[in-house]
Amino acid sequence: MTWHPANITEGCFTNYFISSCQPSFLTFLTFLSQYLGHSRDDKLRSARALDNEYDFIIVGAGSAGCVVANRLTEIKNWKILLLEAGDEQPVVTEIPGLLGVLPDSTIASSYDYLRKGEVCKLSPYQCIITRGKVMGGSSSINAMIYNRGMKRDYDDWEKQGNPGWNWDNVLRYFKKSENLKSKIPAGDATNHGIGGYLSVELREPEKYAESIHNAWKETGLKEVDYNSGENLGTARIQFTLKDGIRQSTNDAFIRPIRGVRSNLTVRTKIQVTKVIIHPKSKRAIGVEYVEPGTKLTKKVFANKEVILSAGTYESPKLLMLSGIGPVDHLNEAGIKVVKNLPVGKNYQDHIGLSPYEFVVNDFQNFNDADKYVEDVKNFMQNKEGSYKMSGGILDNTAYLQTEYETRPGIPDIEMFGLNKVDIVNGVEGNATCAALAYRGYYIMYTTLTRPDSSGWLILNITDPTFSNPIINPNFFSNEKDLKTLVAGMKLWKRVIETESFKKSGLTAVKTPAPACEKFATDDDKYFHCVAKNYVQAFYHPVGTCKMGPSADPEAVVDSRLRVHGIKGLRVIDASIMPAVIRGNTNAPTIMIGEKASDLIKEDWKSSISL
């Protein structure tokens, strides 16, 4: 493979992380493509035709699909096929500080939100969300944050009719994957795993993050291990890194077994277009797919199950293309209805924005391609230098309560910092484009941990198979979300007033947002205006194939992740979450893959030969 930014042939590219390009940075991008654009797995590609049938077909080699492929191939007499629409994982993904060049590149897909109402009006970046289209899925392009969410999140899942999904049950699956390599401040070792496939590390402390961490503690927040099940407080961020290098689920779960376990077949650049369902038995018996550069449909069959792990956008799309979904919408799309289910409903994501930027007082700007190249080589050889920093993310986070959350110990706001382009203040229009590690200011984000608003996803009926689905996130459809976000943005003032912050070498700047200049920047009307005009999603979409009992009007799969009313078909990815958890979604999706693998083994135990 050859990785490159999507628009490099046009002279530059821009995205949510990176703004306008100058010639020196274009030179740097060209270097990255030539030096780091290959994959360590290129030699493992196979031109051999697929067999006619396998025991299990897994569609999607992302955060969950790679886990499931690993665990099912532990059963030696099971033959597993793992299909990925994207390409092999390139070396460029390994460097944490190069996160910014990944979203708008050949290993990602971009999805536009439906621009409706008062959101998505002012910046092209607000309502475009990218997902990994590559081995490892979004775990190959994300910010590498390992965050499980809260105990209450999973206990609530079980209370909604999903037995076996409470915290005590899922904790063992988090621990099963994990290989914690750092001592967690305020942490209890019994909450973490040692010896699993997935490496988790703390990063070397960064001085500005330490200052903000201390500032939060000065305000009265306690230090916590946010992966303990309770996260109200401030914490060092835990990352999916191995000796400072990104560890995607492809790195962790597939590379150790690929070419070693003969019962695993991996194929990349294969787009599955439909699940084949027997019309009489209502059983999934295989999939239809197309290969690169063609629209010629081929078929491959599953003796036991088809497993959709294509993610919150593509798994519901595939179900609907296969005749499983809302009957009225399928009729409109001209698709024969196999099963009427609420596929695509219950769409949720974390949302937020930044009211402040913290400027580094003694920052020296760089605009030197030779410096960028030198630092990349230094990282690759010594794991040192500017590119250790994960996409510019400060390694501190804080979970807080506003007046709109009165239950003890439950945060409704998360605060974190990111060294990046400022969406609200339009800095992307005039900033020097440089690697994130060289930017001289931090954007301080306020996000909702658990929005009450939810949206939906449907097929684009003009080209349902090869077009992206239509997504309406429905931000602020519940007014409480807006009130909570406004209250949360004002909490940053607590940090700015501390002695720790005053000594940090940072200065807080709140330039009036262009669309809200008529309001004073400390007025509630200003914060309301900013929230409505500049809110953005945070790349944690869930819920479109909701897990729940058949009596639940929004449920698509049961507690064993089997599609209601269809035999031999499961969905195993973030789309099954009944609600977004109070944390990032990569770790929970990996957990879902671990638990689902055990459920499959239980259901097929009579056919297991170890």
pLDDT at 101: 86
Two structure tokens written together for 357: 């930027």
Confidence at residue 366, expressed as pLDDT on a 0 to 100 scale = 57
Q: Which of 440, 439, 437, 445 is nearest to 98 (CA)?
A: 437
Q: What is the pLDDT of residue 8?
A: 52
Q: What is the mean pLDDT of residues 63-88?
A: 98
Strand pairing report for 441-448 and 351-360: antiparallel
Mean pLDDT on 70-77: 98
Write down the pLDDT at residue 33: 92
203-229 pLDDT, tens digit per residue, is 988 888 899 999 999 999 999 999 999
Ranges of beta strands (E only) in 438-596 are 441-448, 456-458, 470-472, 506-509, 536-537, 569-571
| Average confidence score pLDDT of the chain | 90
185-246+349-461+474-537 in CATH: which number? Answer: 3.30.560.10
Crossing angle, helix 479-489 and helix 524-534, to 10 degrees? Answer: 120
pLDDT in tens, 262-317: 999 999 999 999 999 999 999 999 999 998 888 799 999 999 999 999 999 999 99
Stronger pLDDT, 581 or 294, i.e. the higher one = 581
Asked whether residue 344 carries a pLDDT value surpassing 90, the answer given is yes
| pLDDT score at 122 | 66
The confidence band for 391, taking pLDDT boundaries of 50, 70 and 90, is low
- The pTM for the full model equals 0.95
pLDDT of residue 311: 99
Distance CA 599, CA 610 (A): 17
Q: What is the pLDDT of residue 12?
A: 47
Residue 267's DSSP bridge partners are 83
Q: What are the tens digits of pLDDT across the range 459-510?
A: 999 999 999 999 999 999 999 999 999 999 999 999 999 999 999 999 988 7
Domains 8-143+249-348+541-605 and 185-246+349-461+474-537 share a fold: no
CA dihedral 156, 158, 162, 165 (to 10 degrees): 110
| Segment among 202-206, 248-252, 388-392, 551-555 with least mean pLDDT | 388-392
- Among 9-23, 69-83, 129-143, 532-546, where is mean pLDDT lowest? 9-23
Token duo for residue 378: 């230094």
Q: Is 290 annotated as a binding residue?
A: no
Catalytic residue list contains 278: no
Q: In 3-state terms, what secondary structure has residue 530?
A: helix
- Please state the rounded mean pLDDT for residues 389-408: 89
User: Tens of pLDDT along 550-561?
Assistant: 999 999 999 999
Which pLDDT belongs to residue 425? 39
Mutual angle of helices 167-177 and 586-603, in 10-degree steps: 100
In angstroms, the CA 190 to CA 174 distance is 12
SS3 242: strand
CA distance 220 to 216: 7
Among 17-31, 244-258, 415-429, 508-522, the range of highest mean pLDDT:
244-258
Q: Poorest-confidence range of 45-59, 134-148, 414-428, 576-590?
A: 414-428
Dihedral sign (CA 164, 168, 174, 177): negative
What is the per-residue DSSP string for 331-343? HHHT---SEE--T
* Better-predicted residue by pLDDT, 362 or 517: 517
Judged by average pLDDT, the poorest of 243-247, 431-435, 525-529 is 431-435
**Cβ-based neighbour number of residue 283 at 10 Å:** 16
Q: Where are the domains of the chain?
A: 8-143+249-348+541-605, 185-246+349-461+474-537
* Catalytic pick among 192, 213, 350, 540: 540
For residue 22, the model assigns a pLDDT of 58
pLDDT at 205: 81
Confidence of residue 441 (pLDDT cuts 50, 70, 90): confident
Question: With 60 as the cut, is the pLDDT of residue 11 above it?
Answer: no
Sign of the torsion formed by the C-alpha atoms of 198, 204, 209 and 210: positive
What per-residue confidence (pLDDT) applies to 436? 45
- Cα-Cα-Cα-Cα dihedral sign, residues 576, 582, 586, 588: negative
Q: Across residues 322-334, what is the average pLDDT? A: 98
What gap in Å lies between CA 441 and CA 462, rounded to an integer? 44
In the predicted model, what is the mean pLDDT of residues 6-28? 55
Across-strand partners of 567? Answer: 283
Rounded Cα distance, 538 and 468, in Å: 19
CA distance 87 to 385: 29
Highest mean pLDDT: which of 23-32, 335-344, 388-397? 335-344
pLDDT at 423: 35
Check whether 421 has a pLDDT greater than 50. Answer: no
Decide if 53 contacts 302 (C-beta within 8 A). Answer: yes
CATH architecture of the domain covering 8-143+249-348+541-605? 3-Layer(bba) Sandwich (3.50)
DSSP 196-228: SSEEEEEPPP-HHHHHHHHHHHHTTPPB--TTS
Rounded to an integer, the average pLDDT of 383-410 is 88
% of the chain residues with pLDDT over 90:
72
Residue 379 has pLDDT above 50, yes or no: yes
Residue-level length of the chain: 610
Whether 16 shows a pLDDT value over 50: the answer reads no
**Residue 427: predicted pLDDT:** 37
